[in-house]
Structure 1
Amino acid sequence: MAPTSTSPSTTASISTAPLTSTPITTTKHSTTPITITSTTRTATSQMLTSPTATASTKPTHSHTTSTFPSSTTLSYTQKCHAAGYRLLSTGDTHLCMHLKHSKHSWSNAEKVCERDHARLVVLDTHEKVEALRHTLDGNDYWIGATDDDHDDNFSWVNGEPISATFWLWGHGEPDRHHDFCVILNGHDHKMHDKGCADSHMSVCEIPL
């Protein structure tokens, strides 16, 4: 009888093995989500550094590049915010200006501009002249050029000298007939020296 009773005991031991392995299976199964999550993260990381991901960012880079000029223009627009001022652009040149239609002497016109934190316009480049030319209405306007020392040497209000052969002078100008301030003539769009006490409209500029 003893050998017979030992056999069932062996069988019971065999049947217990699967039960013991169940937690092991569960443990392996429970690690699966961690592996998937890790794989997902790895895949995401690979996507960020893969050539395909790099290619996908090109449209974004292209979009940023295409809007850069607009952003630059917006920056100039923000600077040119004073009431009545307009932003004129020619190529890469930007001019923030205001045609002042009230008439003053040159010195009073300068003060009018300074109240706007501006100055009488400095027309020291072809591009600025071209930008302004299209807004003129046939009137003469004071600009930021004068001979303060009355020594026949004109200069811009920013301190830059103006040669007597400067291309923007009108024919025969400056004539130096005791005229020490400068207008932009409304007809030929050239510089003419005038008496500083004369009354003219003026062009103010906010430097950009």
Structure 2
Amino acid sequence: MKPHPTNTRADRIDALVLVVILLIVAGFAGAASFTHVKDWTLDNSPPGTGAWFGWANAVISELIPAAALLTIRRRRRSGGPIGYPMFLLVAAVALSLSAQLAVAKPGLSGWLLSAVPALAFIGLSKLVLTTAPTPTPAADPASARPVEQPNAPAPAPVVAEPVALAPVEPARPTPVAPVAPAAFVRRNGVPLMGEVTR
């Protein structure tokens, strides 16, 4: 996709750096959250539950908010409703935060350090949702008007030259050839006018 011509090189570099930062933060926050959800699931599963179940819950809990975030962005661009994807995003972040707090060392510092991935994802989501594309400069109708000079003389009004019209001749009647009424006959053989033949 070609950048907008009004974007400067510095704007493009800033946007690229922001994307790289967002990807790094999202990757590490997702990895930490993934581990916490997997461990929490395995610690609270019935005995004999395979490790795949913890991995499945972790994958689900990480992919749903990412999909919800992308859906919200797409629907905002198209003007669609965002209620349901926003609900999924909030629910997935709440699940991730619960898992992170559940596996944390008891105490304020343990909870805070364990909650960093969920808090980072919330901040990242807010940043992604509120980042708008650079507005394109619209043509201002006021700037399109010519600037009036205070001492400039007013332009002279334009007067149309009179046009001579050619005389119109009266219309002549078109000659019509007389046709006998008997010439007009219906399909069933009955004449339209005149005497009815039997």
Structure 1 and Structure 2 fold alike (TM over 0.5) = no
TM-score for both structures, normalised by structure 2: 0.21
Higher relative contact order at CA 8 Å, sep ≥6: structure 1 or structure 2? Answer: 1
Structure having the larger proportion of residues in strand: 1
TM-score for both structures, normalised by structure 1: 0.20
